[in-house]
């Protein structure tokens, strides 16, 4: 009899905590149904202060966070619950909600896997099946967009590479032209210096040239006459008046 009394005394605090937890969860559910997700979150968190291992309190808190677009916080809760629920239907609900959080973050690959896990635990859930097909379609579109993006990226890279090559070639051509012009300028400067160093030849007019030519002709005539006289002298025979 004493042992039974002790057990009953130990149960009374537990029953009190359970009732307080349940009351807070009910208040949270009421706010949730009214669309006041922030107040629902407050009550769910209060229920978890009474019992932080409450699967129901955590599950509902995840839903309140999801509806406030706190997808990261919601995801963490449903990931943990999917490991903790022993009941298959409850585990399926956790995976279903986890899939929705991934969908909201456009992580379609992870969403598809979550919905598949939900169906493994509850194959008859048509809502999950619909969400799975929708996630597959969004994943396909995402992959196609990524392929187009990668293709455009490759094309842009090829165009940029060609442009860079052309720019380099243009710079090389410009430098070659510049070097060629510099070499020409240097050669011209050298030629001008050489010309300046050479003695300048006096330019003569046509009249001067004719006078010089006439003078040469006169000199030539005089020279010829002198030669004739010399020949005449050498050809003259001299006689001696001496009597041998």
pLDDT digits (tens, 9 = 90+) for 70-127: 999 999 999 999 999 999 999 999 999 999 999 999 999 999 999 999 999 999 999 9
Q: Does 201 have pLDDT greater than 90?
A: no
pLDDT for the residue 173: 81
Q: What pTM did the predictor assign? A: 0.59
Calculate the CA 226 to chain-centre distance: 102
Q: Give the lowest-confidence range in 22-31, 125-134, 213-222, 233-242.
A: 233-242
Reported confidence tier of residue 16, pLDDT bands at 50, 70, 90: low
CB of 81 closer than 8 Å to CB of 58: yes
Closest CA relative to residue 128, chosen from 99, 88, 90, 105: 99
Task: Reduce the DSSP state of residue 63 to 3 states and report it.
Answer: helix
Which tokens go with 103?
Answer: 């969908």
Q: Give the lowest-confidence range in 65-69, 173-177, 225-229.
A: 225-229
pLDDT for the residue 128: 96
CB of 57 closer than 8 Å to CB of 21: yes
Name the percent of the chain lying above pLDDT 70. 73
**SS in 3 state form for 129-166?**
HHHHHHHHHHHHHHHHHHHHHHHHHHHHHHHHHHHHHH
Closest CA relative to residue 117, chosen from 99, 138, 143, 144: 99
Calculate the CA 207 to chain-centre distance: 83
Reported confidence tier of residue 169, pLDDT bands at 50, 70, 90: confident
pLDDT for the residue 118: 96
Give the containing element (helix H, strand E) for 106: none
Domains of the chain with CATH codes: 14-148 (1.25.40.10)
């Amino acid at each position: 009899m004493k042992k039974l009394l002790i057990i009953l005394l130990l149960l009374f605090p537990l029953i009190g905590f359970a009732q307080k937890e349940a009351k807070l969860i009910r208040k949270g559910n009421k706010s949730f149904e009214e669309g006041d997700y922030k107040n629902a979150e407050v009550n769910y968190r209060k229920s978890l202060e009474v019992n932080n291992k409450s699967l129901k309190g955590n599950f509902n808190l995840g839903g309140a966070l999801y509806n406030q677009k706190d997808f990261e916080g919601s995801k963490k809760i449903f990931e943990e619950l999917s490991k903790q629920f022993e009941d298959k239907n409850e585990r399926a609900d956790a995976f279903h909600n986890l899939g929705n959080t991934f969908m909201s973050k456009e992580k379609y690959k992870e969403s598809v896997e979550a919905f598949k896990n939900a169906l493994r635990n509850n194959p008859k859930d048509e809502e999950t099946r619909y969400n799975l097909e929708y996630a597959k379609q969004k994943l396909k579109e995402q992959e196609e967009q990524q392929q187009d993006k990668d293709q455009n990226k490759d094309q842009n890279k090829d165009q940029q590479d060609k442009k860079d090559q052309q720019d380099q070639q243009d710079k090389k051509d410009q430098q070659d032209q510049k070097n060629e012009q510099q070499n020409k300028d240097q050669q011209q400067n050298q030629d001008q210096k050489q010309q300046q160093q050479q003695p300048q030849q006096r330019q003569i007019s046509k009249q001067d040239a004719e006078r010089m030519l006439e003078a040469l002709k006169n000199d030539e005539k005089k020279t010829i006459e002198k030669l004739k006289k010399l020949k005449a002298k050498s050809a003259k025979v001299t006689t001696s008046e001496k009597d041998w």
